Amino acid sequence: MNKSFWAAALNRAIRTVAQSALATIASASILSEVNWLVVLSASVLAGVVSILTSIATGLPEVPVEEQKPPDQEPNITVRAYDDYYEDGSPKRLGDKTFPDPNGGDDA
């Protein structure tokens, strides 16, 4: 996640906060009945959820290559078990890591 990712995620979060605030304010009959604490808390929560969603799912406006950390390539780890302990649990011989041929995409 680089600078362009965070810029796009922040842009989305600001728009989400504004939309949430407008929707919460519009739900009041008249402006004097607006509960500003509710507006603030709902808007902040919407912004936090927006940032977390961007981190979890990525952003379509940022290329996938820019969303992955550059030093981490997707890998597949294979665990080898050859023998069992007396209680029936497997003895782990070790792990072997291979580059993921699909590049991390579950296709």
Give the tens place of pLDDT for each residue, 54-71: 888 888 887 776 666 555
Please enumerate in sequence order all residues whose Cβ is within 8 A of that of 5, keeping only pairs 6 or more positions apart, or say none: 54, 59, 62, 66, 67
3-class DSSP state of 39 = helix
Instruction: Tell me what pLDDT residue 107 has.
Output: 47
Cα distances (angstroms) measured from residue 79 to each of 67, 82, 84, 87, 95: 28, 10, 14, 20, 5
Residue 7 CA to residue 61 CA, distance in Å, equals 11
One digit per residue, the tens of pLDDT, for the chain of length 107 reads 778 889 999 999 999 999 999 999 988 877 788 999 999 999 999 999 999 998 888 888 877 766 665 555 556 666 666 666 777 776 665 656 666 666 655 54
Phi, psi at residue 75, to the nearest 5°? Answer: -130, 160
Which pTM value belongs to this model? 0.57
Q: How many distinct helices (H) and strands (E) make up the chain? A: 3, 2
